[in-house]
C-alpha cells in the first residue's frame, strides 16, 4: 500500500473520550489489495453508561438550543468537513470506491448536512419546539381549542449504518436527529468503519457539537439495544434479516422503542412500451441501468436489481447493455480509466456468490459471470472483485427467485412483460422496494405505472427526454424527499425534509383556552387576548412587539368607483365585478368587489406610511376570501401580531426579524370577508447577543484545513505513546 501501510486500532468515542477497544478485534482489509489496514473492537465499552451519558449530558445541552442554533452548527460542521474532504477521499479508496463513488458518499453526506442546515432555518422556528399545523376548534364558543406541538425525545438516537455508505449513511441520520435536538450514538458497519471513524474524528476535532451529543462505536454493538427506553430510538440501515433480529429485541418490544428500518430491496427499472430502440428514452434507460449496476460495484441499497422490458425489445436491450457494460473498466480505482472497483470485502464476495447461485436456478446468464474479470492494476485473488452479471428470466411469473433473492453487487435480471398490467404486477412482486424507475415519453403510461406500483415503493422516478438532463438519477435519494419503502424495504423512511426531523420528536396535542395555548406555543390564535396600544405596531422595532398586540383600523366604504378603478389598474374585468346583468345571474346575485382590491384596501387601512422599523412586505400565507364584498359595503381590518422569528445576522445587512400578522377583514355586520397571514421584515434594535454556541460556530468556520492525515496518523498525533504499527 506504499505510504498507507498502516495497521491501526480504530477508536470508539464514548462519553466524550476516545477509547480503544480491548481484545484482538476484527481485522479490516483494503478492498483492492487485501492487505490488513486496521482492526476494530468495542470490547470493554459500557454501553449502558454511553446511553445514560447521551440522555443526561447530551440531551439537555441540545434541547437548550433552538432549531436555528442547531442548524447553524450543522452548517459550520458541513463547512469544516468539506475543506477536509480530500483526506476522506483517500480513506474511501481503501473501500474500493472510485472517485465518483466517493463523491456520492462523501460529498453526498456533506450535502445532506448543508440541506438540513438550510431547512432548519427556513422551515423551523427559532424555538426549541415545533408547532405542527394550525389551531383546531374544539368548542362552539371558541374557548376550547387544540394544537399539536413537537418536542425532542429525551433519549438517544441509536443509528446503525450499512457498509456501503460509511459517510453519507452516518451524516444523513445525524443531520435529522441533531436538528431535532436528540443526541446520537453511531454504529457503522465494521467492514468499512475506518472511513466512518476518520470523519467522526474530524467531527470531534471541530468542537462544534455539545458534549454528549455524539458517540461512536467501531465494532460490535454488544448489549446496547438491551438498555433502550421508551424515549430512545433506533434507525437501522442494512439487511432485512438483521433488521428483523434487532427489531425483535426484548427492550425494543417492551418499551415500544421507535425503530426506523431502511433495508436492501429488489428495486426495479422499467422500459416503457413506447421507448423503442432509437428513442431518447431507450438510450437513457440503457445508460441508467448500466450505471446502477456498476456505481459502487452495485453495492447500493437503491441499485437496480430487476429490469422489466417489453417482450419484443428483450434482444435489443440485452445487446445494448452488453455493449455498454463491456466498456466499463474494472480494477484499482487509483488507476486512470477504471470505472468500477471491488466490493467492500471478501465477505461480500461470498455473499453475492451465494445469491447468484440461487438466481442461476431460475435464469440464464446473458453477459459476464465467472472467468470474465479483466482487471486493471489489481489481482482477483487479493482483492474483493466481482464481475458484472446480466441474467435473463423468460418466465418472471413462474420463476420467483429474481423477486426474492438480492445479490448485493453488480448483478441484474432482465424480465419481459406483455402489458402494463403485467409490468406493474412484476414490480409489486418485489414485496416492497426503496425505488423504481420508468423510462417513457408517454404521460399516460407514467400515470398508470405510478399509481399501479406506488403502494409498494418508497420513491418512483419517471424519466423522459425532458427531465433527464437535470434528473438526479434512479439511485440518488435526496434530503427533500423520503428515503425508505414498505415491506421488504423495511417499512420506514429517512429524511423527507421536515418529516425526517419530526421522526425524533414527540407530537403532542395541547388542549386549552386560546390564551393558555398561545402562552405554551408563543403563537397567537383567535380567541386569545388582544393587546392594544396607542403606538401603531408598524412604529415598533422587532423587540418591542408583543404577541397578541392588535390594531383595529378605521372603516372604509367600497364604492363603484373603487371597483371600476381597480379593474382599470389591474386589467381584471371579470364579469362579476363589471357586468350588472351577468352578476345578477351568478352565485353572487349582484356585482362584487375584486378580492385583491379588498386586500389592497385593507393594507391601506393598517399600513403606517411613514418610514419606520418595518422594512418590507415578506409574503402572504393562508389567504381565504370567505364572504363577498359588495358595492356599498363597509370594511375594516384587524391586525394582530401572531408570531416573531429573528433572522440570522449577516454582514452588511440590517438586523431584522420576520413578524407574522394575523389579518381579518370584516364587513359592516362584523362578518369576516377575508382572512390571511402577512409577513413583514422588521428592524431589530441591534445584533443578536453572541452565545457560546454561535462563537463556536464562527470559530470553526474560520478554521483552516489541516494537512491531510490518515485516521491512524491522527490517532498517533492525539494520543502520544500509541504510535501506529507499520506492516513490513
Q: How far apart are CA 257 and CA 245, in angstroms?
A: 14
**End-to-end distance of the chain based on CA atoms, in angstroms?**
10
Q: Provide the grid cell at 427.
A: 414490480
- By 3-state DSSP, what share of the chain in percent is helix, strand and coil, each rounded to 5? 35, 25, 35
Q: How far apart are CA 701 and CA 689, in angstroms?
A: 18
> Which parts of 266-324 are beta strand (E)?
267-271, 304-310
Buried b / exposed e over 475-491, threshold 16 CB at 10 Å, is bbbbbeebbbbbbbbbb
Angle (CA) 104 108 110, round 5°? 140
517: number of Cβ within 10 Å: 23
Angle (CA) 375 380 385, round 5°? 80
Q: How far apart are CA 250 and CA 257, in angstroms?
A: 10
Length of the chain: 728
Q: Which candidate, 89, 91, 116, places its Cα nearest to that of 104?
A: 89
Q: Which candidate, 427, 350, 339, 352, places its Cα nearest to that of 389?
A: 352
Residues contacting residue 628 through CB under 8 Å, at least 6 positions apart: 588, 592, 593, 673
How far is residue 668 CA from its own chain's centroid?
49
How far is residue 589 CA from its own chain's centroid?
50
Return the half-sphere exposure (C-beta side, CA atoms, 13 A cut-off) of residue 654. Answer: 14
Residue whose C-alpha cell reads 345571474 in the numeric block = 585
Q: How far apart are CA 282 and CA 468, in angstroms?
A: 12
Q: Which candidate, 472, 470, 448, 474, places its Cα nearest to that of 460?
A: 474
702: number of Cβ within 10 Å: 9
DSSP string, 288-303: HHHHHHHGGGG--TT-
Q: How far apart are CA 131 and CA 133, in angstroms?
A: 6
Burial bucket for residue 466 (CB in 10 Å: 0-12, 13-18, 19+):
exposed
Q: How far apart are CA 100 and CA 83, in angstroms?
A: 18
Cβ proximity of 434 and 458 under 8 Å: yes
Residue whose C-alpha cell reads 445479490 in the numeric block = 407
Q: How far apart are CA 627 and CA 667, in angstroms?
A: 9
* Catalytic residue IDs: 262, 301
Backbone angles phi, psi at 341, to 5 degrees: -100, -160
Q: Which candidate, 267, 249, 269, places its Cα nearest to that of 257?
A: 249
Cβ proximity of 420 and 445 under 8 Å: yes
SS3 readout for 58-99: HHHHHHCCCHHHHHHHHHHHHHHHHCCHHHHHHHHHHHCCCH
Q: How far apart are CA 464 and CA 597, in angstroms?
A: 43
Q: Kind and range of the H or E element at 178?
A: helix 168-180
Provide the H-helix boundaries in 385-490.
Answer: 401-404, 420-428, 443-453
Residues contacting residue 456 through CB under 8 Å, at least 6 positions apart: 427, 428, 430, 431, 432, 433, 485, 486, 487
Cβ proximity of 135 and 526 under 8 Å: yes
Amino acid at each position: 500500500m506504499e505510504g498507507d501501510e498502516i495497521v491501526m486500532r480504530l477508536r470508539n468515542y464514548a462519553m466524550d473520550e476516545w477509547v480503544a477497544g480491548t481484545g484482538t478485534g476484527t481485522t479490516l482489509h483494503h478492498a483492492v489489495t487485501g492487505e490488513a489496514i486496521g482492526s476494530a473492537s468495542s470490547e470493554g465499552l459500557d454501553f449502558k453508561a454511553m446511553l445514560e451519558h447521551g440522555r443526561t449530558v447530551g440531551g439537555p445541552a441540545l434541547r437548550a438550543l433552538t432549531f436555528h442554533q442547531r442548524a447553524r452548527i450543522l452548517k459550520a460542521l458541513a463547512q469544516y468537513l468539506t475543506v477536509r474532504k480530500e483526506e476522506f477521499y483517500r480513506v474511501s479508496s481503501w473501500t474500493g470506491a472510485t472517485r465518483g463513488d466517493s463523491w456520492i458518499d462523501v460529498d453526498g453526506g456533506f450535502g445532506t448536512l448543508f440541506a438540513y442546515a438550510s431547512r432548519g432555518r427556513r422551515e423551523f422556528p427559532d424555538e426549541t419546539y415545533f408547532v405542527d399545523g394550525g389551531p383546531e376548534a374544539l368548542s362552539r364558543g371558541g374557548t376550547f381549542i387544540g394544537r399539536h406541538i413537537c418536542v425532542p425525545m429525551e433519549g438517544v438516537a441509536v443509528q446503525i449504518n450499512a457498509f456501503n455508505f460509511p459517510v453519507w449513511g452516518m451524516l444523513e441520520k445525524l443531520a435529522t436527529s441533531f436538528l431535532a435536538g436528540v443526541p446520537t450514538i453511531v454504529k457503522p458497519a465494521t467492514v468499512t468503519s475506518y472511513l466512518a471513524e476518520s470523519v467522526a474524528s474530524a467531527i470531534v476535532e471541530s468542537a462544534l457539537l455539545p458534549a454528549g451529543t455524539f458517540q461512536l462505536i467501531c465494532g460490535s454493538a454488544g448489549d446496547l439495544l438491551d438498555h433502550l427506553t421508551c424515549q430512545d430510538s433506533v434507525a437501522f440501515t442494512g439487511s432485512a434479516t438483521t433488521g428483523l433480529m434487532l427489531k425483535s429485541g426484548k427492550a425494543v418490544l417492551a418499551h415500544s422503542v421507535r425503530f426506523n428500518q431502511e433495508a436492501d430491496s429488489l428495486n426495479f427499472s422499467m422500459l416503457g412500451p413506447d421507448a423503442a430502440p432509437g428513442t431518447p428514452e431507450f438510450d437513457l434507460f440503457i445508460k441508467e441501468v448500466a450505471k446502477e449496476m456498476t456505481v459502487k460495484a452495485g453495492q447500493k441499497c437503491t441499485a437496480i436489481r430487476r429490469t422489466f422490458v417489453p417482450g419484443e425489445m428483450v434482444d435489443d436491450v440485452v445487446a445494448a447493455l452488453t455493449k455498454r457494460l463491456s466498456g466499463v473498466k474494472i480494477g484499482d480505482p487509483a488507476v486512470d480509466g477504471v470505472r468500477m472497483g471491488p466490493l467492500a470485502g471478501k465477505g461480500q464476495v461470498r455473499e453475492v456468490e451465494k445469491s447468484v447461485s440461487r438466481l442461476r436456478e431460475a435464469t440464464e446468464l446473458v453477459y459476464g459471470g465467472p472467468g470474465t474479470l479483466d482487471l486493471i492494476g489489481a489481482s482477483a485473488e487479493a482483492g474483493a472483485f466481482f464481475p458484472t452479471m446480466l441474467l435473463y428470466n423468460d418466465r418472471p411469473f413462474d420463476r420467483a427467485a429474481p423477486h426474492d433473492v438480492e445479490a448485493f453487487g453488480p448483478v441484474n435480471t432482465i424480465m419481459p412483460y406483455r402489458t402494463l398490467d403485467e409490468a406493474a404486477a412484476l414490480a409489486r412482486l418485489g414485496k416492497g422496494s426503496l425505488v423504481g424507475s420508468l423510462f417513457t415519453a408517454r404521460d399516460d403510461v407514467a400515470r398508470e405505472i405510478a399509481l399501479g406500483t406506488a403502494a409498494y415503493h418508497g420513491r418512483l422516478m419517471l424519466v423522459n427526454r425532458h427531465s433527464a438532463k437535470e434528473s438526479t438519477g434512479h439511485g440518488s435519494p435526496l434530503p427533500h424527499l423520503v428515503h425508505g419503502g414498505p415491506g421488504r424495504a423495511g417499512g420506514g423512511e429517512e429524511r423527507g425534509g421536515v418529516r425526517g426531523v419530526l421522526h425524533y420528536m414527540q407530537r403532542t396535542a395541547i388542549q386549552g383556552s386560546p390564551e393558555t395555548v398561545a402562552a405554551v406555543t408563543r403563537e397567537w390564535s383567535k380567541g386569545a387576548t388582544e393587546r392594544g396600544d396607542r403606538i401603531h405596531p408598524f412604529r415598533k422595532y422587532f423587540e418591542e412587539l408583543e404577541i397578541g398586540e392588535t390594531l383595529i383600523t378605521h372603516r372604509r366604504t367600497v364604492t363603484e368607483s373603487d371597483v371600476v378603478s381597480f379593474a382599470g389598474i389591474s386589467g381584471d374585468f371579470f364579469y362579476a365585478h363589471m357586468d350588472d346583468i351577468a352578476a345578477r345571474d351568478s352565485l353572487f346575485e349582484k356585482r362584487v368587489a375584486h378580492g385583491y382590491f379588498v386586500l389592497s384596501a385593507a393594507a391601506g387601512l393598517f399600513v403606517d406610511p411613514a418610514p419606520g422599523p418595518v422594512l418590507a412586505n415578506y409574503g402572504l400565507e393562508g389567504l381565504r376570501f370567505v364572504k363577498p364584498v359588495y358595492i356599498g359595503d363597509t370594511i375594516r381590518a384587524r391586525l394582530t401580531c401572531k408570531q416573531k422569528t429573528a433572522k440570522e445576522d449577516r454582514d452588511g445587512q440590517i438586523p431584522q426579524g420576520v413578524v407574522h400578522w394575523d389579518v381579518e377583514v370584516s364587513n359592516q355586520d362584523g362578518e369576516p370577508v377575508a382572512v390571511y397571514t402577512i409577513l413583514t421584515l422588521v428592524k431589530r434594535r441591534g445584533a443578536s447577543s453572541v452565545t457560546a454556541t454561535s462563537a463556536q460556530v464562527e470559530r470553526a468556520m474560520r478554521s483552516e484545513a489541516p494537512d491531510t492525515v490518515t485516521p491512524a496518523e491522527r490517532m498517533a498525533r492525539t494520543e502520544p505513546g500509541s504510535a501506529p504499527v507499520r506492516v513490513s
